[in-house]
């Protein structure tokens, strides 16, 4: 989240501090005053603890951190003095963030923990399955729901009696892809299918067909074909050769990767070959090494080839993906991480999954007991009896007596049918398969649940100090973000006159290094370099040279041209710069010859050439000046005794 990360960065949380509970200090003790505003130890220490590590706390480190905190508080104070906390944009943004922050406090943690553990158990295996779908909308009428259920049961009976599952899927499934694949889904694991389907698959034995499973799409029959242990994660190096549009007789990606694979089999270093020939520039610099990955992190062909390797050091045969041709070398493998390591990640996924509805409903049931909730079914039924199709457009007419009747009660406060009718007005234009009567009863319960959650939500700051402090961080973070945008970021972009003056005063900071317009010839060995020089001397065009020297191979000569500095191309630092051909340069077990076409000495960059860097430096200058002005305008005092009690 942008504001949260912004706050953390701004408050200097780059420092690695380990904070232990403050010794015997009252959390409400005043650690800092800014003019007449008092900041407590609780607030400061709460933010300070966000980056607790094993580093030793020193007075110098605490002083540095406090200076950053003072800057933060001064900026927030100015934003409040400007009234930025009263405008609707600020209020709406804060409400949005607060709603997100409140979610963990409005859920049943016991149910959530059980679902997290269940998900981890699922993650231990991958299921291979096929399915048949009979569509049924979540809001379908009882009659339509029963018809869909009867249809799926009829199909299940046909399968149980021996008919081919794939044939029935192609003929009867409402999943369009089934006509081609017979309902096959391949292997999957937790969170890769909707939860009811996932649960149904994991609870069905291999070789069996499930009972109908209801999801938001309808009813499914799931045929479980296999279950295998989770693949875990694998660590590989690879060499990639891209296919080129101009690929012809002088270049063939498949031939090149096969030739490289032959060199690997002959004992040449995979890492050296990756550095020389791989077209994946980012990994080539590291000998072809890629980050660890697991199921569904790479394209299927790459993943299959990698996981097919059974031991470290084993190298695959060449294979093709949408990115080009590859060979892969396994350098490491690890199984699924422990629950402790994955718990936080799984919990985050559960909170965003349909599983979250279970935790929500369980939490609401607990709130009903806490707040002495009572729903008047008879009153709701009388109101629902008055509904017609206009209710789908938020209209529901009834006699005053019916409207005045209580619908539900929370903590002694009664909500009437009239309150519910006003709630319905906000929901016009809904599409549903429910009858008006069903719709009213469903929405009445929804209204009651929302009011329960609103009541609990209103008490969060009072009940949970951590929540109160976090909301305050976001409040101040939003203010800080908006004011910094006005004072620094947008101003630097819009204030062209100011930036031009800054550039003129500091142009010596923005210079080009020495650069050269070069053609870089990378030769397989001294022999090829010698032949290259002879052809260049004879005036042969470089495209023809490549064709001649790479006859029957793709590895003898590689050519590239560009305007580079020594920072751009390391090989340029290994020779003197003079127009014409360089001497032979040994590099990466090859020979490089550089043709210096032109040499451009260091020069000051024009504003247009370094606008991004100049803008960034100008923003830094504006912020430093702003902080100086704020510190001269306001008074502030730190209670060092309380500050140094943090250890």
CATH of 511-604, one of 3.10.50.40, 3.20.20.70, 1.10.10.10, 3.40.50.300: 3.10.50.40
- Take residue 433 and report the two structure tokens written for it: 């398969």
For residue 222, give the 3-state DSSP assignment: strand
- Can you give the pLDDT at residue 17? 34
Between these two residues, 351 and 432, which has the higher pLDDT value? 351
DSSP string, 340-362: HHHHHHHHHHHHHSTTHHHHHHH
294-298, long-range: CB < 8 A, 24+ apart = 294/231, 294/232, 294/233, 294/234, 295/126, 295/187, 295/189, 295/230, 295/231, 296/192
Residue 55: pLDDT band (50, 70, 90) is low
- Confidence check: pLDDT of 8 > 70: no
At residue 542, the pLDDT reads 81
The residue-averaged pLDDT of 428-444 equals 85
Asked if 125-229 and 233-334 have one fold, the answer is: yes
In the predicted structure, residue 11 carries a pLDDT above the cut 60: no
In sequence order, the 6+-apart residues with CB closer than 8 A to the CB of 363 are 106, 107, 108, 111
Pick the CATH number of 125-229 from 3.30.930.10, 3.10.50.40, 3.40.1280.10, 3.40.50.150: 3.10.50.40
Average pLDDT over residues 209-234: 95
3-state SS, one letter per residue, for 454-472? HHHHHCHHHHCHHHHHHHH
Residue 628's pLDDT band (cuts 50, 70, 90): very high
* Domain residue extents for the chain: 125-229, 233-334, 371-458, 511-604
Contact assessment for residue 412 and residue 372, using Cβ atoms and an 8 Å cutoff: yes
Query: Quick one: DSSP state of residue 487?
Result: I
Question: From the CB of residue 603, how many other CB atoms can be counted at a distance below 10 Å?
Answer: 12
Question: Each residue of 15-24: pLDDT tens digit?
Answer: 333 333 333 3
Tokens linked to 352: 């965003």
Chain-wide mean pLDDT for the chain?
Answer: 91
SS3 state of residue 70? helix
State how far the Cα of 422 lies from the Cα of 510, in Å rounded to an integer. 64
**SS3 labels along 575-593:** CCCCCEECCCEEECCEEEE
Residue 167 has pLDDT above 50, yes or no: yes
Rounded CA gap, 165 and 208, in Å? 11
386: tokens are 């008055």
pLDDT band at 433 (very low <50, low <70, confident <90, very high): confident
CB-count burial class (<10 Å; 0-12, 13-18, 19+) for 460 = middle
Tell me the per-residue pLDDT of 63-100, one tens digit each, with 9 for 90 and over: 989 999 999 999 999 999 999 999 999 999 999 999 99
Q: Which residues pair with 328 in a beta bridge?
A: 238
| Tens digits of residue pLDDT in 319-348 | 999 999 999 999 999 999 999 999 999 999
Residue 42 CA from chain centroid, whole number: 32
Rounded to an integer, the average pLDDT of 165-183 is 96
CA distance 281 to 279: 6
Q: How distant, in Å, are the alpha carbons of 159, 176, 178, 213 from that of 147?
A: 19, 20, 21, 15
pLDDT band at 186; cut points 50, 70, 90: confident
> Reduced to 3 states, what is the DSSP secondary structure of residue 520?
strand
pLDDT for residue 25: 52
**% pLDDT > 90, the chain:** 81
Q: Specify the pLDDT at position 47.
A: 86
CA separation for the pair 355, 560 (Å, rounded): 54
Please report where in the chains the tokens 């979610």 appear, as a residue: 103
> 265 burial class (0-12, 13-18, 19+ CB within 10 angstroms)?
exposed
Cβ-contact 440, 434 below 8 angstroms:
no
- CATH architecture of the domain 233-334 equals Roll (3.10)
Burial tier of 401 (Cβ tally within 10 Å: 0-12, 13-18, 19+): exposed
In the structure encoding, which two tokens stand for residue 147, read together? 């018809």
pLDDT higher than threshold 80 for residue 183? yes
Q: Which residues, in sequence order, are bridge partners of residue 129?
A: 186, 224
Q: Residue 2: its pLDDT value, please?
A: 45
Give 211's contacts (C-beta < 8 A, 6+ positions apart). Answer: 156
Per-residue pLDDT tens for 26-48? 667 999 999 999 999 999 988 88
pLDDT given for residue 24 in this prediction: 38
Contact 556, 523 (CB under 8 A): yes
- Cα–Cα distance measured from residue 378 to residue 473, given in angstroms and rounded to the nearest whole number: 47
Q: pLDDT digit string (tens) for 468-494?
A: 999 999 999 999 999 999 999 999 989
Identify the pLDDT of residue 18. Answer: 34
Q: Residue 217, class by beta-carbon neighbours within 10 Å (0-12 exposed, 13-18 middle, 19+ buried)?
A: middle
- Structure token digits, residue 617: 């430096």
* Model pLDDT, residue 54: 59
State residue 10's pLDDT score. 42
Which contiguous run of DSSP H or E holds residue 325?
Answer: strand 324-334
């Amino acid at each position: 989240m942008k504001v949260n990360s912004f706050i953390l960065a701004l408050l200097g949380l780059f420092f690695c501090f380990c904070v232990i509970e403050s010794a015997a200090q009252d959390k409400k003790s005043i650690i800092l005053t800014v003019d007449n505003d008092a900041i407590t130890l609780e607030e400061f220490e709460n933010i300070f603890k966000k980056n607790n590590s094993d580093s030793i706390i020193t007075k110098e480190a605490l002083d540095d951190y406090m200076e950053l905190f003072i800057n933060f508080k001064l900026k927030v104070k100015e934003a409040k003095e400007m009234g930025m906390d009263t405008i609707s944009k600020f209020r709406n943004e804060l409400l949005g963030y607060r709603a997100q922050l409140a979610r963990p406090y409005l859920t049943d943690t016991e149910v959530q923990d059980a679902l997290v553990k269940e998900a981890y158990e699922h993650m231990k295996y991958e299921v291979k399955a096929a399915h048949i779908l009979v569509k049924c909308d979540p809001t379908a009428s009882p009659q339509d729901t029963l018809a869909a259920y009867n249809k799926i049961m009829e199909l299940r009976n046909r399968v149980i009696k021996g008919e081919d599952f794939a044939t029935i899927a192609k003929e009867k499934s409402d999943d369009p892809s089934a006509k081609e694949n017979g309902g096959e889904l391949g292997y999957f694991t937790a969170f890769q299918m909707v939860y009811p389907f996932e649960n149904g698959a994991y609870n069905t034995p291999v070789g069996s067909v499930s009972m109908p499973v209801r999801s938001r799409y309808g009813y499914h029959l799931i045929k479980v074909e296999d279950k295998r242990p989770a693949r875990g994660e694998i660590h590989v190096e690879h060499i990639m050769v891209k296919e080129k549009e101009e690929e012809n007789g002088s270049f063939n990606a498949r031939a090149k990767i096969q030739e490289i694979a032959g060199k690997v089999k002959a004992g040449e270093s995979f890492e050296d070959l990756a550095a020389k020939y791989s077209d994946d520039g980012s990994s080539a610099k590291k000998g072809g090494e890629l980050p660890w990955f697991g199921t569904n992190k790479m394209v299927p062909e790459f993943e299959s080839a990698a996981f097919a390797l059974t031991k470290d050091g084993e190298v695959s045969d060449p294979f093709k993906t949408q990115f080009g041709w590859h060979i892969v070398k396994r350098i490491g493998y690890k199984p699924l991480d422990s629950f402790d390591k994955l718990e936080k990640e799984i919990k985050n996924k559960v909170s965003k999954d349909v599983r979250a509805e279970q935790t929500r409903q369980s939490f609401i049931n607990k709130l009903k007991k806490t707040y002495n909730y009572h729903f008047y079914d008879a009153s709701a039924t009388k109101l629902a009896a008055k509904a017609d199709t206009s209710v789908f457009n938020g209209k529901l007419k009834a006699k005053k007596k019916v409207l005045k009747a209580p619908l539900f009660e929370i903590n002694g406060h009664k909500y009437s049918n009239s309150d519910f009718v006003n709630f319905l007005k906000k929901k016009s234009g809904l599409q549903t398969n429910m009858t008006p009567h069903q719709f009213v009863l469903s929405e009445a319960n929804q209204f009651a649940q929302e009011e329960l959650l609103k009541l609990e939500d209103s008490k969060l700051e009072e009940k949970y100090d951590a929540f109160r402090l976090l909301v305050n961080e976001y409040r101040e973070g939003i203010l800080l973000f908006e004011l910094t945008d006005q004072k620094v970021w947008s101003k630097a972009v819009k204030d062209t006159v100011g930036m031009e003056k800054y550039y003129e005063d500091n142009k010596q900071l923005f210079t080009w290094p020495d650069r050269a317009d070069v053609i870089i010839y990378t030769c397989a060995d001294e022999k090829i370099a010698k032949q290259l020089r002879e052809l260049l001397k004879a005036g042969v065009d470089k495209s023809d040279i490549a064709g001649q020297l790479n006859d029957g191979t793709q590895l003898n000569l590689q050519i590239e041209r560009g305007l580079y500095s020594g920072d751009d191309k390391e090989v340029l630092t290994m020779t003197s710069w003079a127009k014409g051909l360089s001497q032979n340069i040994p590099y990466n077990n090859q020979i490089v010859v550089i043709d210096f076409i032109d040499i451009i000495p260091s020069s000051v960059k024009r504003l247009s050439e370094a606008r991004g860097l100049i803008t960034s430096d100008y923003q830094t200058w504006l912020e430093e000046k702003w902080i100086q002005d704020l510190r001269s305008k306001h008074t502030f005092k730190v209670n060092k005794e309380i500050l140094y009690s943090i250890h």
